[in-house]
Structure 1
Amino acid sequence: MSWGRAAMVLGLVLLLSGCGAKYTPLFVGGEVSKPVIGWRDCPRAKHDGVAEVGLYEWANESTADDPGELLWHIKATQDNLLKRISIGETPEGFTTLLPLTTRLRPGVTYALETNMTSDELVSGFVTFRPEQLAAGRVVFDSGEEDSLKHYRSRDNEDFGCFAG
């Protein structure tokens, strides 16, 4: 790993762990029939991609450390730079550890957790409900929703993307 990349990864880890970032870069978008998880692109983080994804059914007593029943779990088998993955699918270069065998149900809260290729400490977490999903909208953080246009225009620093 180059010194520049190591410094960028360390900075992103520190920022996402509460030292400045307001939100993690993880979001859910698309329509309820084909939801997509995404990782907000940081201009300076060129070598990062999703390495592992877990989808959970969030229960009232759930926490980020114990998000509920695991419904779907995939993990990269090789380095990749994927920043968008359809929920329930296994992209090339990934292995399904637990297939998604149920449809997302309205009124149920789900949690997504990801780890990134750059470092196992860089992760994202988001909760959402299927009724929040619609074309041109995203859900991020703890169920906060926004238009895709407004989400893209938000300050990158809110997501731990600081100019070099």
Structure 2
Amino acid sequence: MKWGRAAIAAGLVLLLSGCVAKYNPLFVGGGSSTPVIGWRDCPGATHDGVAELGLYAGAAEPTVDDPGELIWHIKATPGNLSKRISIGETPEGFATLLPMTTQLRSGTTYALRTNMSPDDPASGFVTFRPEQLAGGQVVFGNGNEESPSDYRSRDDEDFGCFAG
């Protein structure tokens, strides 16, 4: 409950200060054969990362409220967060709630919905197609893709990382 109040307070501060993130910190990269879910590092941030993750397929135009059919679901045990997770693998400190039983298919749009804490309804959301990851591209936001170096060079404030 403490995290939920902290997230609400942080959101109110950003809203009232006029600072709004252009993108959420969630991204997918690592190539089409070994896709990895990542959470952008915000300098100086604590308790920052993924605590719960769902991978969805089947929606024509996935949204955070209607992402499609859940095909993989993992959740961290208390006190664990991760900033890098290979799709289909359960990292140490996480439990598998729904194992992934299918391979990612080219031409299919997938949605990732993540939480930073059990109290968050959805703190990260991104859609991607496996072919977008070819050549090492990074996919973020609403299916935006670019090279890892271009992604890293983006202003941290675009992702909600605001200097204190």
Counterpart of 1:57 in structure 2 is 57
1:39 deviates by 0.4
Count matched residues: 160
CA deviation map 1:104-163 (0-9, x unaligned)? 000000000000139525610000000001353200011100111010110111101001
Counterpart of 1:156 in structure 2 is 156
CA deviation map 1:80-110 (0-9, x unaligned)? 2310000100111111010010000000000
Deviates more, 1:36-45 or 1:77-86: 77-86
CA deviation map 1:38-87 (0-9, x unaligned)? 00011121222210000000422543201101000000112123100001
- Specify whether residues 41 and 58 from structure 1 end up closer, same or farther in structure 2 by C-alpha distance, changes over 3 A only: farther
SS in 2 for 1:120: coil
- 1:70-81 correspondence to structure 2 within 5 Å: 70-81=70-81
SS in 2 for 1:31: coil
Tell me the percent identity.
70
Structure 2 Cα separation of the partners of residues 127 and 13 of structure 1: 26
SS in 2 for 1:145: strand
Structure 2 Cα separation of the partners of residues 137 and 102 of structure 1: 23
1:33 deviates by 1.5
1:46 partner letter: T
1:136 partner letter: G
Counterpart of 1:11 in structure 2 is 10
- Specify whether residues 91 and 9 from structure 1 end up closer, same or farther in structure 2 by C-alpha distance, changes over 3 A only: farther
Structure 2 Cα separation of the partners of residues 13 and 124 of structure 1: 18
Question: Are positions 1:26 and 2:26 aligned together?
Answer: yes
User: Which of the pair is proportionally richer in strand?
Assistant: 1
1:117 partner letter: S
Counterpart of 1:93 in structure 2 is 93
Counterpart of 2:46 in structure 1 is 46
Structure 1 Cα separation of the partners of residues 81 and 159 of structure 2: 19
Counterpart of 1:120 in structure 2 is 120
Tell me, which stretches of 5 or more residues in structure 2 are unaligned?
none
TM-score by length of 1: 0.86
Tell me, which stretches of 5 or more residues in structure 1 are unaligned?
none
SS in 2 for 1:70: strand
1:34 deviates by 1.1
